[in-house]
Structure 1
Amino acid sequence: MTVSHSAHWGVFRAEWEGERLRVTPHPDDPDPSPVLQNVPDAVRHPARVARPAVRRGWWEHGPGPSDRRGHEEFIEVGWDEVLDRLAGELRRVHTDHGPTAVYGGSYGWASAGRFHHAQSQIHRFLSMAGGYTQSVNTYSGGAAEVLIPHVLGPFDAVTRSVVTWDQIAAHTDTVLAFGGMALKNSQIAPGGMSRHVERSAMAAASARGTRFVLVSPLRPDLPAAVSPQWLAPEPGTDAALMIGLAHTLLVEDLHDRDFLRDHCDGWEAFREYLVSGDGRSGDHRRSRGRDADWAAEICGIPADEIRSLARRLAAGRTVITVAQSLQRAEHGEQPVWAALALAAMLGQIGLPGGGFCYGLGSLAHYGRVRTAVPVPTLARRPNPVRSFIPVARVADMLLDPGGSYAYNGSDLTYPDIRLVYWCGGNPFHHHQDLSRLRRALARVDTFVVHESVWTATARHADVVLPATTTLEREDIGAGGTDALVVAMKPVAPPYESARDDHAIFAELAARLGFAERFTEGRTPREWLVHLWERTEKALANKGFPAPTFEEFWAAGEVTLPTGPDDGGMLATLRDGGRLTTESGRVQIGSAVIASFGYDDCPGHPAWIPPSDPPSARHPLWLVSNQPATRLHSQLDFGATSAAGKVDGREVMRIHPADAAARGIEDGAVVRLVNDRGACLAAARVTDEIRGGVVQLPTGAWYTPAADDDPTCVHGNPNVLTRDVGSSRLAQGCTGQLTTVQVEAYVGVPPAVQAHRPPRIRQAE
């Protein structure tokens, strides 16, 4: 029997062929993702969590801080026993310390299904349980998510459907892609994606004559088929390059004075910054200002190339894109803001295929038109507690209860967390400085995780509750910028004693006295019917065919109507509309941000040198970007992910000159090291990377060499990255860049056993 299903990397058909699950992409997908072939291994892999498991010390001695997390064996116990104990622990923490002492950790990538969405389920449960400390923003876009509402408008409205792939294919003359538009990233979408159109749209634009300019230390960040011009600046210097381009537009009178006057605010402050000195010479206000020569000294791109590029940008329809990777770094707000200022100077914001587009190519749901009706989603319950942190500051919070920090103009205080409850997501993948995270988690009383597999997060928990995968339950796959809605039917029964997150929370809610409020008396199937009704009514109200749930479920999929490709809020701005910013205009400068007094994020775009540049001890930049063979760390054991490794170890890319200077040969095991930690990887020597830079993707499951040696033998770069905020404005993740030394590994490298379960015994 063949069933339809939806995953973050595409819609697919699944059927069993004997003991092997066969997965094929949706027939209408022109460019399906190879990551789909990780799916078959998810059903019965030895890494699956089979039964509830509890860390021995927590089970035998009760809750409390412990440095044994991640080192101690687990005891398998029955569902009733563990849920009774866990409900009692939730009561204790609420009674003794209040709801702010509970931190609800989650992320949105656990499932493309809209009901069994881990983030929605845990927030619903903890809100009803009395409240909790929650997180805001994401690891992917934390700096931009705070900045963009100040300078352009609501983040979601800015990032989706403003500049579309169809517009680029039809109208754009030049695509200036800072950080690139790598197809490995645009294969992924939160609600699934039935048609991957990025490759064909870029090919169509290129065939029409569009020029693609890639600004990245990594050549593969744009498809070779579109023959991009490759500029490889020093990592982290994109804002300086943008400022040098802006200066050329200004002094050569290539900027759009009318657009700046009519639709922008704060231009004069930025203009003064461009023409003033930079403090490098004795004359603080040298006559040249921050020109192309100034930028060339910083970023390493010749000044003549910078000037030539600026003239090209002004000669036709240009769109400037900024990949999410640029803002996942120290001062990550600045390249986003500087790119917006550069686009404003060109005067094409709001024109089809022109202006500014944050994140295009970073995710599959960017650059598309929205559905004309809402898709089925589980509404989020309001949290009765106002306590929150920026998501990337979790280790700070656990290590410094009562400590103060700045965020978006406010001075806030970290709560004293006693219980961490994680459902969906893997912080030992997406957080930085993992040794520091281990120390932070050792301070809490209880760490609870719902997991389907034995990730490093599960191994560091006190209570691990086995969760079903998306393949083992019914759901609705849908995303607001994909027209196809999928009836996600189970491919396999639940693994061993695994339960879905909703069922686990419903059992806990019963023990805590609010089961009826949590379930609203509905079974999971009845919830799906309830969620579909909203979409069905919206279709009927707009005069479209409106299938019932039964009709939708029998058909297996429904195609929703889509809205217009009209440029959204930025096109409206050109017609006299107002934005939601402080002035109602594009904020090239912001008086509000300036009023915060942050020297690491002033009131206009600026170049701010990094605090952790290459040094004699750590001479190489490490780019820690998203992998091509999996989504983050998900299904790291799958066939596609495994095929991308060498002897089970993650691959690090290095320039031939840097490899030769260190005696490193292609395929050899290397050690990456800095003051925070070390990891092993397999070397790939290639000229598709800038000299002085190495690249190691995220997502290899953290696997320390031994209890007393935290070196990751698998190749997780987050043992090396810095756990600091992007700035006091956003406190975003800075995991994209750090500095390291790389050396050839001497001796026999340890075997990688990342995907084996920990030590587990039965309860006595």
Structure 2
Amino acid sequence: MIRRVPHCSHWGTYTILVEDGRIVGVEPFADDPAPSPIIHSVTEWAKPDRRVLRPMIREGWLRSRGSKDGAERGNERFVAVPWDEALEMVASEIGRVAAAHGNASIFAGSYGWTSCGRVHHASTLLKRMLNLVGGYTGHVDTYSIAAGPVILRHTLGDDRACGGQANTLDNIAAHSETLVVFGAMSPRTAQSEAGGIGAHHLEGYLRQIADRGVRVVHVSPLRDDLPEWLNAEWWPIRPNTDAALMLGLAGEIVAQGRHDAGFLARCTSGSDEFLAYLRGDRDGLRKDAAWASGVTGLPIQAIGALAARLVQTRSMLTVSWALQRAHHGEQPFWAALGLAAAIGQIGLPGGGVGYGYGSLGGVGSPFAVGKSPGMSQGVKAIDSFIPVARISDMLLNPGESFTYQGETRSYPDVRLVYWAGGNPFHHHQDLNRLARAWQRPETIIVQDPMWTATARRADIVLPASTSIERNDLAGNKRSDVIAAMHKAIEPLGQSRSDFDIFNALSERMGVGAAFNEGRDEMGWVRHLYDESRAYALRAHGFLMPTFDSFWERGHAAVPVQRDHVYLAAFRDDPDRNRLETESGRIVLGSRTLAQLGHADCPPHPAWLSPAEWLGDAGPDELHLISHQPRGRLHSQLESGSASLADRRGGREQLRLNPGDAQARGIQDGDTVRLWNARGACLATALVSADTAPGVAVLPTGAWFTPTDDGTEISGNPNVLTLDIPSSAFSQGCAAHTCLIRVAPHARDNRDPTRTYQDELAEMLSEPEETS
């Protein structure tokens, strides 16, 4: 008999079909108009091939605990130990490092797309436990988006505009006449949502936009960053030059006297400085269509005509998160705000600017206004953090100073890293540099269901169960439902839930009662749901079903805000509805940034040449874009059917423009080598006219598989990406600022998957007996 099990993951809500303890199918959520095919890959979690099945300890660490000899991480054999012994080692190491070096020497990395469940959220639970025993060093912001929210907090007072609370897409679909998409607005990236999602609405809104005949201008090096049926005008811009186009458009509008001077005077501060920059008062460079064309490679006439249309029609600007993952990544977000302010339609239906539409599934959809369920990290015990993408800097340069949002701080001397629910050897930049930095800590603990590249480079590995092996609930501020996550199968091997692991560690360290508050797994699931239900009724008069009804049905609707216009109240009365900025207005000229004097983040929106870009490239160099794949989320479910469908020869596919491929003697399907000074990897060539000349595209998420000669053979772009901050102000990730060379590679019969599995098998093999 088939048992139907409600569940939810980052790719949506669905039903798992279970027979005799085995998963036999997955059915999409009935209310989802565009379910992701990735949900069918969750059956991979039930396979033992890559699962951590027992607590494991690295042999060399057992011999020399407390030393700094981490050179053999990733090479040495692991030894299985009982759970009690492993937990005692972990608790002992936390206590030892805290006593000897202070709690700031414990780094709770745990960044990554762990389970979308709100109870078994590994990062939250780790930090909850560590806060109860004196604290830890954590991180701020995310790899996905750091430079963007930092500059928006300064210029708009908060980062709601890039977190899903700019104009909602139903409002844009109903009112916009011109839509300029900088970057992507793609169902490919909208498949996923942090904390889970009920229904995928982006495609429906885009079809409404198409049906209304809205003029859509698509500014991106990749034609398929928008669906083909939207019939958008494709502007194949040079990567990292979007800020120059935005400034050139604004400069054209200002030069013609068509800017909204009243809006600038009433609703912004520092606009005189911004306008002076556009005129070229200081640098002698007038920012206009001709100037922008020289930087971006786009036609002068088209830029001038678009500038005129933007003030003639109700116009909406959308900016992808990807644009700010670059050197000077603050500037496209700020320049878009400056352009929208010059147009003067911020706060009007269908007008203004918004960020991140399509970057996650819920961004732009009607957003939840209730209380999202979630465990608390508790009170932060110490004030110690790093910007999220500065891990290698922290490990390599303890005591060195860094700046963040105007503060100057110093990197802690980290002796213990505890990583739960994440894989930095997928998402961090310049992985060879990270590998060197990773040798420095005395102890590295990884808690994960899978033998990721990070787990292989740990000292202690704790086997966590996946979401399908425990009970939980999903929900977040961008989802219109809370979803039940029923346990579908028994945990594989000796794996335990994240809650059970951290609860056991808390008990060993004397803080068990404070950690669990007297609740077990289902006690917390019920408690978090009931909190959300009570808030919805109290704050919005919205009656959600009882917990028992919700749990049986599998989902419950939450109150949402539809047809939202961002900054409408501020536009109506900026004095009464002041923003939390230095002036209470939209900041276009910043006193704070002027005082800080960061050369890489000036006090007004500006175009700054990136460290690596096509305007300064060698004749054989290409600009590498490393975007989200279609068939998985980052490195999760890399071996699933949806992911494998986009690979050839066991490797990721590198997209090249036909002209670039021909110039290098590359044919579609060839094995190619990508390299720069930071590293090299292999991929399979995919020749595509949907890729702009001078641009190469390699998706993220391949499982890091370096060989003895240093070549990464599975196609992980982060062996090539540049590990520098976007600026001294935000310290964000700059992965999309990257030049590479590409050439055909002699046929290479090494299978990345088999190589990875063979190496893993060797690390897990029992030591040979000696006579």
TM-score range, shorter chain: over 0.9
Q: How does 1:485-500 map to 2 (within 5 A)?
A: 485-500=482-497
Q: How does 1:502-517 map to 2 (within 5 A)?
A: 502-517=499-514
State yes or no: 1:676 paired with 2:674. no
Contact residue 618 and residue 739 of structure 1 kept, 8 A: no
State yes or no: 1:592 paired with 2:592. yes
Tell me the amino acid that sits aligned with residue 558 of structure 2.
L
1:409 paired residue among 398, 406, 416: 406
What corresponds to 2:62 in structure 1? 59
CA distance in 1, matches of 2:568, 2:121: 32
Contact residue 669 and residue 749 of structure 1 kept, 8 A: no
The verdict on how the C-alpha distance between 1:727 and 1:132 changes in structure 2, with shifts beyond 3 A counting, is same
Q: Scaled by the length of structure 2, what TM-score is found? A: 0.95
Tell me the amino acid that sits aligned with residue 589 of structure 1.
G
What corresponds to 2:284 in structure 1? 285
| Residue ranges of structure 1 left out of the alignment (5+ in a row) | 279-283
The verdict on how the C-alpha distance between 1:700 and 1:42 changes in structure 2, with shifts beyond 3 A counting, is same
The verdict on how the C-alpha distance between 1:316 and 1:558 changes in structure 2, with shifts beyond 3 A counting, is same
| Residue ranges of structure 2 left out of the alignment (5+ in a row) | none
CA distance in 2, matches of 1:427, 1:714: 16
Instruction: Please report how far the alpha carbon of residue 746 of structure 1 lies from its aligned counterpart in structure 2 after TM superposition.
Output: 1.2
Instruction: Please report how far the alpha carbon of residue 95 of structure 1 lies from its aligned counterpart in structure 2 after TM superposition.
Output: 0.8
What corresponds to 1:41 in structure 2? 44
1:660 paired residue among 654, 662, 679: 662
Tell me the amino acid that sits aligned with residue 567 of structure 1.
V
Residue by residue, what CA displacement relative to the aligned partner does 1:609-631 show, whole Å, maximum 9, x if unpaired? 11223533861111111111111
2:627 paired residue among 625, 630, 635: 625
CA distance in 1, matches of 2:77, 2:112: 29
Contact residue 170 and residue 562 of structure 2 kept, 8 A: no
Give the match's secondary structure for 2:732: coil
Instruction: Please report how far the alpha carbon of residue 318 of structure 1 lies from its aligned counterpart in structure 2 after TM superposition.
Output: 0.8
Contact residue 159 and residue 357 of structure 1 kept, 8 A: no
What corresponds to 2:303 in structure 1? 306
CA distance in 2, matches of 1:539, 1:164: 21
Contact residue 105 and residue 413 of structure 2 kept, 8 A: yes
Instruction: Please report how far the alpha carbon of residue 259 of structure 1 lies from its aligned counterpart in structure 2 after TM superposition.
Output: 0.9
What corresponds to 1:384 in structure 2? 381
Give the match's secondary structure for 2:139: strand
Give the match's secondary structure for 1:705: coil
What corresponds to 2:116 in structure 1? 112
Residue by residue, what CA displacement relative to the aligned partner does 1:357-392 show, whole Å, maximum 9, x if unpaired? 011121112112332421221122122110110010
Contact residue 371 and residue 535 of structure 2 kept, 8 A: yes
Residue by residue, what CA displacement relative to the aligned partner does 1:537-571 show, whole Å, maximum 9, x if unpaired? 22332433343322321222211222353324444
Contact residue 637 and residue 755 of structure 1 kept, 8 A: no
Tell me the amino acid that sits aligned with residue 744 of structure 1.
P
Residue by residue, what CA displacement relative to the aligned partner does 1:524-548 show, whole Å, maximum 9, x if unpaired? 1111122122122223324333433
Q: How does 1:740-751 map to 2 (within 5 A)?
A: 740-751=740-751
State yes or no: 1:211 paired with 2:215. yes
Identity %: 43
The verdict on how the C-alpha distance between 1:609 and 1:511 changes in structure 2, with shifts beyond 3 A counting, is same
Give the match's secondary structure for 1:411: strand
Residue by residue, what CA displacement relative to the aligned partner does 1:225-269 show, whole Å, maximum 9, x if unpaired? 111101111111111111111111011122111111111111110
Instruction: Please report how far the alpha carbon of residue 153 of structure 1 lies from its aligned counterpart in structure 2 after TM superposition.
Output: 2.4
State yes or no: 1:579 paired with 2:583. no
Q: How does 1:123-522 map to 2 (within 5 A)?
A: 123-156=127-160, 159-276=163-280, 284-285=283-284, 289-522=286-519
Tell me the amino acid that sits aligned with residue 200 of structure 2.
H
CA distance in 2, matches of 1:49, 1:682: 30
Give the match's secondary structure for 1:479: coil
Between 363-372 and 561-570, report the one with greater CA deviation: 561-570
CA distance in 2, matches of 1:684, 1:265: 48
CA distance in 1, matches of 2:254, 2:91: 64
Instruction: Please report how far the alpha carbon of residue 582 of structure 1 lies from its aligned counterpart in structure 2 after TM superposition.
Output: 1.1
CA distance in 2, matches of 1:510, 1:729: 41
CA distance in 1, matches of 2:499, 2:118: 12
Give the match's secondary structure for 2:725: coil
Between 252-261 and 443-452, report the one with greater CA deviation: 252-261
Instruction: Please report how far the alpha carbon of residue 762 of structure 1 lies from its aligned counterpart in structure 2 after TM superposition.
Output: 4.7
CA distance in 2, matches of 1:106, 1:570: 38
Residue by residue, what CA displacement relative to the aligned partner does 1:292-319 show, whole Å, maximum 9, x if unpaired? 1111111101111110111121121111
2:697 paired residue among 691, 695, 699: 695
Instruction: Please report how far the alpha carbon of residue 108 of structure 1 lies from its aligned counterpart in structure 2 after TM superposition.
Output: 5.2
CA distance in 2, matches of 1:64, 1:174: 61
The verdict on how the C-alpha distance between 1:252 and 1:617 changes in structure 2, with shifts beyond 3 A counting, is closer
Instruction: Please report how far the alpha carbon of residue 24 of structure 1 lies from its aligned counterpart in structure 2 after TM superposition.
Output: 1.5
What corresponds to 1:281 in structure 2? none
Instruction: Please report how far the alpha carbon of residue 335 of structure 1 lies from its aligned counterpart in structure 2 after TM superposition.
Output: 0.5
Tell me the amino acid that sits aligned with residue 401 of structure 2.
S
State yes or no: 1:554 paired with 2:557. no
Between 432-441 and 114-123, report the one with greater CA deviation: 114-123
Between 325-334 and 59-68, report the one with greater CA deviation: 59-68
State yes or no: 1:651 paired with 2:649. no
Q: Scaled by the length of structure 1, what TM-score is found? A: 0.96
Q: How does 1:531-570 map to 2 (within 5 A)?
A: 531-541=528-538, 542-570=540-568
The verdict on how the C-alpha distance between 1:157 and 1:665 changes in structure 2, with shifts beyond 3 A counting, is closer
CA distance in 2, matches of 1:63, 1:452: 26
The verdict on how the C-alpha distance between 1:347 and 1:462 changes in structure 2, with shifts beyond 3 A counting, is same
Tell me the amino acid that sits aligned with residue 80 of structure 1.
D
Tell me the amino acid that sits aligned with residue 36 of structure 2.
S
Count of residue pairs brought into register by the alignment: 755
Instruction: Please report how far the alpha carbon of residue 20 of structure 1 lies from its aligned counterpart in structure 2 after TM superposition.
Output: 4.6
Alignment root-mean-square deviation, CA: 1.6
Between 683-692 and 153-162, report the one with greater CA deviation: 153-162
Give the match's secondary structure for 1:517: helix
Tell me the amino acid that sits aligned with residue 635 of structure 1.
L
Give the match's secondary structure for 1:214: strand
Instruction: Please report how far the alpha carbon of residue 575 of structure 1 lies from its aligned counterpart in structure 2 after TM superposition.
Output: 3.5
Contact residue 337 and residue 353 of structure 2 kept, 8 A: yes
Give the match's secondary structure for 1:405: strand
Contact residue 152 and residue 158 of structure 1 kept, 8 A: no
CA distance in 2, matches of 1:140, 1:373: 25
CA distance in 2, matches of 1:285, 1:545: 62
Give the match's secondary structure for 2:743: strand
Residue by residue, what CA displacement relative to the aligned partner does 1:705-749 show, whole Å, maximum 9, x if unpaired? 23xx33110000000001100000000001123000001011434
CA distance in 2, matches of 1:45, 1:159: 37
The verdict on how the C-alpha distance between 1:141 and 1:373 changes in structure 2, with shifts beyond 3 A counting, is same
Give the match's secondary structure for 2:390: helix
CA distance in 2, matches of 1:226, 1:571: 32
CA distance in 2, matches of 1:264, 1:358: 19
Tell me the amino acid that sits aligned with residue 543 of structure 1.
G
Contact residue 171 and residue 565 of structure 2 kept, 8 A: no
What corresponds to 2:640 in structure 1? 638
1:761 paired residue among 759, 765, 769: 765
What corresponds to 2:523 in structure 1? 526
CA distance in 2, matches of 1:156, 1:274: 27
CA distance in 1, matches of 2:741, 2:564: 49
Tell me the amino acid that sits aligned with residue 643 of structure 1.
A
Residue by residue, what CA displacement relative to the aligned partner does 1:500-547 show, whole Å, maximum 9, x if unpaired? 111111111121111111111211111112212212222332433343
